[in-house]
Chains A and B, each alone.
Chain A
Amino acid sequence: MTQAQAPVLVGVEVKAQRKRRPSLGGIPVHLALIAIALIWAVPAIGLLVASFRPAAATNTSGWWTALVPPWDFTLENYQFVLGRAGIDQAFVNSFVITIPATVLVVMIAAFAAYAFAWMDFPGRDILFVVVVGLLVVPLQITLIPVLNLLRDFQPGGVRINGTILAVWLAHTGYGLPFAVYLLRNYFGSLPREVFESAAIDGASQATAFFRLALPMSVPALASLVIFQFLWVWNDLLVALVYLGPVPQNHPLSVVLANLTTSFGGGWQFLTAAAFISMIVPIIVFLSLQRYFVRGITGGAVKG
Chain B
Amino acid sequence: MLEQLASNRIFSALVVVIAVPIVLIGYILLVEWILRRVSRRVARGARPWLWLAPALAFLGVFLVYPTIATVIRSFLNRRGDAFVGLDNYGWFFSQQDTLIALRNNAFWVVFLPLLVVGLGLLVAVLVDRVRYESTIKSIVFLPLAISFVAASVIWRFMYELDPKVGTLNAIVTGVGGDPVAWLIAQPWNNFFLIIVGVWLLTGFAMVILSAGLKGISVELLEAARVDGANELQVFRRIVLPLLMPTIAVVATTIIIYALKTFDVVYTMTNGNFDTNVIANVMFQQLFNNGQPGRAAAIAVILFAAIVPVMIINIRRFREQEALR
Contact = CB atoms under 8 A, between A and B. Distances in A.
B165 A9 contact: no
B143 A40 contact: yes
B73 A144 contact: yes
A211 B218 CA distance: 39
Contacts of A136: 256, 303, 306-307, 310
Contact of A108 (B55, B158, B300, B317): B55
Interface string B49-93: 101101110110111111101100100000000000000000000
B292 A114 contact: no
Interface residues of B, number: 118
B324 A132 contact: no
B314 interface: yes
Nearest to B74: A141
A299 B55 CA distance: 21
Contacts of B267: 236, 257, 260
Interface in A163-209: 164, 168-170, 172-174, 176-177, 180, 185, 204-206, 209
A253 interface: yes
A81 interface: no
Contacts of B172: none
B59 to A, nearest CB: 6
Interface in B275-315: 279, 282-283, 286, 292, 295-296, 299-300, 302-303, 306-307, 310, 314
Given A301-B215, A303-B215, A115 B59 contact: no
Contacts of A99: 13, 17
Contacts of B186: none
Contact of A233 (B17, B147, B231, B324): B147
Interface string A243-280: 00000100001001100100000010011011101100
Q: Say what secondary structure dominates the interface of chain B.
A: helix
A278 B146 contact: yes
A31 B170 CA distance: 23
Contact of A301 (B32, B51, B170, B211): B211
B214 A5 contact: no
A47 B63 CA distance: 38
A277 B150 contact: yes
A145 B162 CA distance: 44
A68 B215 CA distance: 45
A181 to B, nearest CB: 9
Contacts of B69: 144-145
B205 to A, nearest CB: 10
A8 B155 CA distance: 34
Given A111-B51, A133-B310, A172-B58, A302 B215 contact: yes
Contacts of A204: 32, 36
Contacts of A62: 163-165, 167, 170
Given A100-B13, A234-B148, A112 B51 contact: yes
A301 B246 contact: yes
Range for the number of chain A residues in contact with chain B:
35 or more
B164 A144 contact: no
B208 A301 contact: yes
B108 interface: no
Interface of B: 2, 5-6, 9-10, 12-13, 16-17, 20-21, 24-25, 28-29, 32, 36, 45, 47-49, 51-52, 54-56, 58-59, 61-67, 69-70, 73, 119, 122-123, 126-130, 135-136, 138-150, 152-158, 160, 162-165, 167, 170, 199, 204, 207-208, 210-212, 214-215, 218, 221, 225, 231, 242, 245-246, 249-250, 256, 260, 262-263, 267, 279, 282-283, 286, 292, 295-296, 299-300, 302-303, 306-307, 310, 314, 317, 320-321, 323-324
Q: Considering the complex of A and B, which 3 residue pairs feature the smallest CB-CB distances, nearest first?
A: A173-B62, A303-B215, A234-B147
Interface of A: 5, 7, 9-11, 14-15, 18-24, 29-30, 32-33, 36-37, 40-44, 46-47, 50, 58-64, 89, 92-93, 95-96, 99-100, 103-104, 107-109, 111-112, 114-116, 119-121, 124, 127, 129, 131-138, 140-146, 149, 164, 168-170, 172-174, 176-177, 180, 185, 204-206, 209-210, 230, 233-237, 248, 253, 256-257, 260, 267, 270-271, 273-275, 277-278, 281-282, 284-286, 289, 293, 296-297, 299-303
